[in-house]
Amino acid sequence: MTVLRARWAAMAAVGTGLVLAMPAIAQAERFDVSPGRLGDVAATLGAQAGITITVTDPVIAARRSPGVRGARSVSAALTEAIKGTGADFVFYDRKTVRIMARKIIPPKEPKRPVPARTPIETAEVPGDIIVMASKQGTLLDSFPGSVKLMEFDAGWLARNAGNGSAAIAELLPTMGSTNLGPGRDKLFIRGIADSSFSGQTQATVGQYLGEVRLNYSAPDPDLNLYDMERVEILVGPQGTLYGASALGGIIRFVPNAPATDRIAATASAGLSSTRSGGVGGDGAAMLNIPIAADRIALRIVAFGAREAGYIDDRSRNLRDINTTRSFGQRVTLRIADLSGWTVDIGGVEQNITSRDGQYTIRGDPPLTRATAIAQPFRDHYHLGYVTARRPLGRGEIVTTASVVEHDFTTVFDATGYLGTTSPLKFEEANAIRAYAYETRVSGGGQRSPWVAGVAGIHNVSRLSRSIGVPNALKQIAGVRNRQMEFALFGQASQSITRTLTATAGVRVTLARSGGSLLDKSKNGSKEPSSTALPALPSFAVDWQPSRSFSSFVHFQKGFRAGGLAVAPSGDALDSRKFAADDLSMTEFGVRWGRRGEDRLSIRAAIFFADWNHIQADLVDTSGLPYTANVGDGRVYGLDAEITWRLSPALTLTGAAFVNNSKLYEAETDFGTLEEQTLPNVPRNGTRAAAAWQKTIAEGVNLSADVSVRYIGQSRLGVGPVLNIPQGRYAVGDLGGRLGFDKFGVSLDIDNIGDFRANSFAFGNPFSVAERNQMTPLRPRTIRLGFDVRF
């Protein structure tokens, strides 16, 4: 009886999907799409038809399409566009189409229902999604590890792009973040957290824009998400494919590529109001300009936002002191056919300015504090890159080179430092330059994919510090660190049986690091450099006994080089090295149901990590930041998510993360009588959400979503000084959008219950030892938004 009900449900879902898709399939339109790469042809055809067409397989996207000209239905136009490419297409609803490699389905294989697509598709659909971050064209269904993949529709991006990384973290309980402020935070994945402060250590999460590295030893750049196609998150460590700065995993932002055959433009704007705070606003726009038909195109994205403040300073009689402004742009020039190569030349600029810190003092009136001076933050991020790729048999060759200039300056109120009573100002300036290069070759098709490559990075970070009365600062100890890495890496998968696939890889890195103490009077003092030759292996086995069920076992290792830091000795010119650390993780995961096809799908994984010589950025007893190794750690837990499509219009999702971490064999300065967890990662977190969408009239769509997330308790840091609790709160959000053919109107309410919990127990290192700092959640905020496309 259960099987019969399932079959009737499947038939109903297919029928509903066909009814929704019929108007788009049957209506005749006039198309003028020149021949070219199938990926570009599909993008132009979709723009002319007013629908979304995606091509996620790079091999299929690179094949030559004859184009489409003349009046015909969308279905006929698609059929003509894929002629000779070995591709096929499927309608998920009247506005969403996916082009994929044509598959021969065995006669006994039962047909699956094709449900409507939700606003944020987070897993497999029948088009065999390729995990691009795997670098070897691995299918999402058979990827031997935990991966989170989120594809965004234009409406969701218009509403959430300005929130940057926070918008992603709110969707995934397994992804955590500090809450010092935009451009200042550290991201963590699955409990791999070294500290709550930013300093000389390399990030535990690597971030990439397409093929380009965004960070190395810096906080989260917090890029605006406008015009992003999707985000891929590979749970770490990802040392084999990505090297250092990937202990916890990597986040890969994939922007929409320039289209070479049609002018296109989109824009969005929003106005927001925060309870007990000010008024904010955000805006973004995209312009795509073909320069040479079918050959060259320019895509420009510009954005800006004002995030309203909500904290008042009583001593200075100021309101909404923590207002933050950001603006920037992304530019990409694509040359689509340069002797068989596709070349992207691009740049990113983003600027973030915060007037003051966003923390308060426990015991003061809500959303207030009293400080002697302002504590602003300024962040300037610049990226330039070149990426070139071309098909190579059943694979491709990709080469990329990039340079990052990242400068950020932080001011803290140091009043009371070393017993002083007059106002003191502490200023910390970080200047980071990172040069990265990688060339890789992949092939083998989908059954036996492989990748091999060479990569290098040169990162130089300069930390200078000053303290004194606000108008007469005195320079104190600073440090300059330099890391160079040259690596050879490779990974391959091989089908052992029809249901069993094994994957193995290794990265061999020559890592060299050195540092010098900065002293204005002595022009610096050098320390000897150190060299390491770590090998970072990975092993995995994926078992797929049926189309709907699979499981995997995965082992991988990560590494971070050591460096030089200022010692915890006040303003004296003293330094101390911190050693390299490494992390090994083993996970076992299961996947049941294909979330893009089946009504119910489940993903779950249990994991265990062993972390040696943990590097951490800390604060000494006087309030000055420093870096040290704190001991060894172990992390184990469960990561699970479920998706249930109740109907083509309504989808329920749930996700949970359970974490148990322990710092053992702690260094002398960080030992306590109590058992210590690793910092800033809650023991548990959950998220439940419902998404509903429906076509209420021809060309008119209504969507709504509601979510509740819970963040468990965590600790600010390790050691007796920083063992401060935070977290243990729930937040509810609600939003909706009314979409028309060319524009949409949205309304969102964040923190519906207006909760005032402590999300982060830090704001100023010079008074953190008093254990009374807290960062309240942003009060209830209402945003009215508009978006349009041309």
3-state secondary structure (DSSP) of residue 65: strand
pLDDT at 84: 79
Is beta strand 96-101 parallel, antiparallel or unpaired with respect to 87-93?
antiparallel
**CA pair distance 584, 247, nearest whole angstrom:** 9
Rounded CA separation 461/563 (Å): 11
Are 194 and 203 in contact by the 8 Å Cβ rule? The answer is: no
Please give the sequence-ordered ranges of beta strands (E in DSSP) within 67-196, or none if there are none.
68-73, 87-93, 96-101, 120-121, 130-131, 138-139, 147-152, 175-177, 187-189
Region 81-110 average pLDDT: 69
Rounded-to-integer distance, Cα 24 and Cα 159, Å:
26
Name residue 674's amino acid. Answer: E
Q: Given this model, what pLDDT does residue 9 score? A: 42
| 333 token code pair | 């020039």
More confident residue, 125 or 673: 673
DSSP assignment of 711-734 equals EEEEES-SSTTT--EEEEEEEEEE
Report the run of H or E that residue 251 belongs to, with start and end.
strand 249-255
Domain residue extents for the chain? 2-113, 166-789
Using a pLDDT cut of 90, give the percent of the chain over it: 63
pLDDT attached to residue 773: 96
Distance in angstroms (rounded) separating the CA atoms of residues 329 and 286: 10
113, pLDDT greater than 70: no
The predicted pLDDT at position 700 comes to 93
pLDDT of residue 94: 62
- Output the six-digit token pair for 781: 């905020």
**pLDDT number for residue 554:** 96
Q: Do domains 2-113 and 166-789 have the same CATH topology?
A: no
Instruction: Give residue 3's pLDDT band: very low, low, confident or very high (50, 70, 90).
Output: very low
Question: Which pair of structure tokens corresponds to residue 61?
Answer: 């996207």
166-789 topology per CATH: Maltoporin; Chain A (2.40.170)
pLDDT of residue 527: 63
Of 664, 626, 656, nearest to 765 (Cα)? Answer: 626
3 state SS of 263: coil
**What CA–CA distance (Å, rounded) separates 491 from 538?**
8
- Measured from the Cβ of residue 788, the count of other Cβ atoms closer than 10 Å reads 16
Q: Could you give the CA distance from residue 70 to residue 75 in angstroms, rounded to a whole number?
A: 13
Mean pLDDT of the chain: 87
Q: In terms of Cα–Cα distance, which of 589, 593, 562 is closest to 575?
A: 562
Q: Which two tokens stand for residue 79?
A: 């059929």
| Predicted local confidence at residue 711, as pLDDT | 96
Task: Read off the amino acid at residue 345.
Answer: I
Q: Which of 76-90, 108-122, 144-158, 266-280 has the lowest mean pLDDT?
A: 108-122
Contact 207, 214 (CB under 8 A): yes
- pLDDT value of position 6: 42
Among 188, 223, 191, residue whose Cα is nearest residue 208: 223
Q: Above 80 in pLDDT, residue 127? A: no
* Tokens found for residue 498: 């029809």
Q: SS3 breakdown of the chain: % helix, strand, coil, rounded to 5?
A: 10, 55, 35
Region 113-141: mean pLDDT is 58
> Cα(first)–Cα(last) distance of the chain, in Å?
50
Given a cut of 90, is residue 211 above it in pLDDT?
yes
| In 132-231, alpha helices (H) | 154-160, 165-169
Confidence check: pLDDT of 311 > 90: yes
Q: Give me the residue label for tokens 């292996």.
A: 537
pLDDT of 8 over the 70 cut = no
Q: Is the pLDDT assigned to residue 50 strictly greater than 70?
A: yes
Tell me the range of 124-133, 310-319, 669-678 where mean pLDDT is highest. 310-319
| Per-residue confidence band for 665, with pLDDT thresholds at 50, 70 and 90 | confident
User: Which pLDDT band, with edges at 50, 70 and 90, does 26 fall under?
Assistant: very low
Distance between CA atoms of residues 104 and 97, nearest Å: 19
Q: Name the phi and psi angles at 18, rounded to 5.
A: -70, -40
Q: Which residues contact 406 (CB under 8 A, 6 or more apart)?
A: 215, 218, 221, 379, 380, 381, 382, 430, 431, 432, 433, 434
Helix H or strand E encompassing 48: helix 38-49
User: Could you check whether the bond before residue 534 is cis, i.e. omega within 30 degrees of 0?
Assistant: no
pLDDT digits (tens, 9 = 90+) for 512-558: 988 888 764 444 456 667 889 999 999 999 999 998 899 999 999 99
Which residue's entry shows tokens 């297919």? 14
Average pLDDT over residues 411-431: 91
Instruction: Report the pLDDT value the prediction gives residue 288, as an integer from 0 to 100.
Output: 97
Asked if residue 244 lies in contact with residue 485, where contact means CB atoms within 8 angstroms, the answer is yes
Residues 6+ apart with CB under 8 A from 679: 193, 194, 195, 196, 616, 714, 715, 716, 717, 718, 722
Contact 189, 220 (CB under 8 A): no
Question: Are the C-beta atoms of 492 and 506 separated by less than 8 Å?
Answer: no
Task: Give per-residue pLDDT as tens, 490-501.
Answer: 999 999 999 999
Interval 357-369 mean pLDDT: 95
Q: How many CB atoms lie within 10 A of CB 53?
A: 22
Locate the DSSP E strands across 444-569: 450-469, 472-495, 500-518, 525-526, 530-532, 535-543, 549-560, 563-566
Provide DSSP, 429-447.
Answer: EEEEEEEEEEEEEEESTTT
Greater model confidence, 598 or 426: 426
User: Which CATH code of 3.40.50.880, 3.40.640.10, 3.55.50.30, 3.40.1260.10 fits the domain covering 2-113?
Assistant: 3.55.50.30
Q: Is the pLDDT of residue 690 over 90?
A: yes
Question: pLDDT class for 162, splitting at 50, 70, 90?
Answer: very high
pLDDT bin (cut points 50, 70, 90) of residue 109 is very low
